[in-house]
Structure 1
């Protein structure tokens, strides 16, 4: 069994290396071929990073684990967003970050409930009434709420600047600080892990384990770095071939590919029922990471690419997308404040996302609003 898991890691690492080399040394005339290599490499590298992060959590103190694992698991999304920011494509910057946030809440959170509900019905014959969170989880709610309040300032200013990034970065650090000083949650057990990260945790030699975890993270990170730019280009080309707006394609496809592998574990936990709260919290934590830390990076990378401190102008469409994400986040805060996530909450979030996905229409009145226009 262990040999099989080792073989899978070796195979995934070799494939990552193969794609990274191929994309930079072999010319492809087919946009679809490049897209396939890029999309598959993003999924594989995101899985490697996610599993490595989970295993690493058992090799460090809980406080440090919170900070390190939170950073490791958002690497795929950050790589894609950083490439877009470096290219100074404001439209697609807004598409990726607003899409990733709304996809997490509108699809990720409801799917956790549905998964737990289905397995509850299978095992007990009864439906799942709700997923309960702990009182300490109000920290996540507070971080989301404060981040959303600050985005009102961004809408009023009609731009995103480095000092906005600094504020959101400080908010993220404060969030991590409060996570560390709160009473510890019951620790995740090795038995709760998926087979692949459990294999890494079970490596007996501490030195060997450290070397393997470091090596795998480097492989995943380097692969993401190598394919991020071709991935971005291929998304625009595939969107053109399909006759779909690049904005819409990047808004939903890029976050799905970079986020879903990271969330495989959350769905794995949800099916055990007893770990459903941990699964939901994993999704909520990712939302906090992307609503604060991810956005804080955008104006910084944008300024570096220009060679000077620069302002990212936000037109009415950008502000509309931020407003939609902000309103959805405020609703998320409201339902989480009661520390209970119900079926009606899950359905409402999904319908809010679905309406935006099917009817990506614009608020024609938005430019005329004194507050945001």
Structure 2
């Protein structure tokens, strides 16, 4: 009966999720010519990660009432982030490579340096959280500040120039939207975001519930569902829009930055939300205390994201880098008992990348890109 009900629900929820992903993506494509591409992608990431926020919020609230459920809050959070870097980033490269033979790397622009270094800030702070072994209400403030600073920089960056070549890369709907008179154009772009967000809002919970029913029917454990299945499903709209852009080499970097923006979103705002809801639900000021297993999970997630940062500071993602990111994630997914060992594997690769940077004796391209972006757009407008 559960399987039948879940199957029937998926008949309308899955197409709705598909539709919402494309509508929101069209809005972001058009919006990058009115605001900075990074800010458009940040808005997109907010809308796309609503299901993930909803899932994490429910778990954090339940953990406040029942401390035995606290491990699930960490499991969902870490699983979601590891899926983005270990599965999402490589899949973008592989999709782009399918549509463009002999693709050597996905090239990033100078302004994408903001997203790359925007990812580093919350990772560094979360290293401190891992070290002290607790996530408290007070941690929510610096984590939120990281995200606000990131948005502030993006706000200073001008929109892309709407030249003929840039418009040709757009889909039919974004292109026709930008051809409208200014007032109608702005209204249409907002409506794409709003309509897509509303569709996603009303279909996300039934979609997750239907997939939960299917997972339970096939005997998937609660922990596996919370760490891998729920994040995969809640990030599904994001993956759809990213793969939609990855089909073209000219927009593959947008797809990758879409994922990176979601990484930043979850490392900062989503993680800040957890202790807030936990404290409100518990009715008293208390921290989330990590046990040894949870600390390993958090450290593994930190090192994976930090490695992703180190790979992107060259303003490109190469084939072998995407491949190894995927293999490392797949190993820990298939053989959970190897996760502690994978910490040392990630740490070793991070140290190799740092050694290569030092041996190069010059700042990485992303650092130069960040400095140019600040000089041209942030410092000049302050």
Task: Give the TM interval when normalised to the shorter protein.
Answer: 0.7 to 0.9
Distance in 2 (alpha carbons) for counterparts of 1:60 and 1:334: 28
Distance in 2 (alpha carbons) for counterparts of 1:141 and 1:37: 37
Distance in 2 (alpha carbons) for counterparts of 1:248 and 1:173: 33
Contact kept in structure 2, 1:335 and 1:341, CA below 8 Å:
yes
Counterpart for residue 106 of structure 1 = 86
CA drift of 1:53 comes to 4.7
Contact kept in structure 1, 2:32 and 2:159, CA below 8 Å:
no
1:91 aligns with 2:71: yes
Structure 1, gaps ≥5 residues long: 1-26, 122-126, 367-373
Decide which of 215, 220, 225 is 1:244's aligned counterpart. Answer: 220
Counterpart for residue 255 of structure 2 = 279
Distance in 2 (alpha carbons) for counterparts of 1:163 and 1:342: 39
> Once the two structures are superposed, what CA deviation does each residue of 1:174-199 show, in whole Å capped at 9, x if it has no partner?
11222333576556945433445556
CA drift of 1:135 comes to 3.3
Decide which of 148, 162, 166 is 2:123's aligned counterpart. Answer: 148
CA drift of 1:214 comes to 5.8
CA drift of 1:273 comes to 1.5
CA drift of 1:61 comes to 7.2
CA drift of 1:156 comes to 2.1
CA drift of 1:79 comes to 2.3
Counterpart for residue 243 of structure 2 = 267
Q: Flag the 1:95–1:238 CA change in 2: closer, same or farther, 3 A.
A: farther
CA drift of 1:145 comes to 2.2
Distance in 1 (alpha carbons) for counterparts of 2:277 and 2:14: 23
Q: Flag the 1:263–1:30 CA change in 2: closer, same or farther, 3 A.
A: closer
CA drift of 1:69 comes to 3.9
Distance in 1 (alpha carbons) for counterparts of 2:214 and 2:50: 24
Counterpart for residue 169 of structure 2 = 192
- How many residues are matched? 334
Distance in 1 (alpha carbons) for counterparts of 2:184 and 2:280: 37
Contact kept in structure 2, 1:194 and 1:268, CA below 8 Å:
no
Distance in 2 (alpha carbons) for counterparts of 1:310 and 1:231: 33
SS of the residue 1:128 aligns to:
coil
Distance in 2 (alpha carbons) for counterparts of 1:262 and 1:113: 15
CA drift of 1:111 comes to 1.6
Structure 2, gaps ≥5 residues long: 64-68, 343-382
Distance in 2 (alpha carbons) for counterparts of 1:183 and 1:214: 18
Distance in 2 (alpha carbons) for counterparts of 1:116 and 1:34: 32
Superposition pairs of residues 56-135 of structure 1, within 5 angstroms: 56-57=31-32, 65=40, 68-88=43-63, 89-121=69-101, 127-135=102-110
Q: Flag the 1:159–1:335 CA change in 2: closer, same or farther, 3 A.
A: same
Question: If the length of structure 1 is used for normalisation, what is the TM-score?
Answer: 0.74
Superposition pairs of residues 1-373 of structure 1, within 5 angstroms: 30=5, 33=8, 44-57=19-32, 65=40, 68-88=43-63, 89-121=69-101, 127-182=102-157, 189-195=166-172, 206=183, 210=187, 221=197, 237-361=213-337
Taking only aligned residues, the RMSD between alpha carbons, in angstroms, comes to 3.5
CA drift of 1:170 comes to 0.6
Counterpart for residue 8 of structure 1 = none
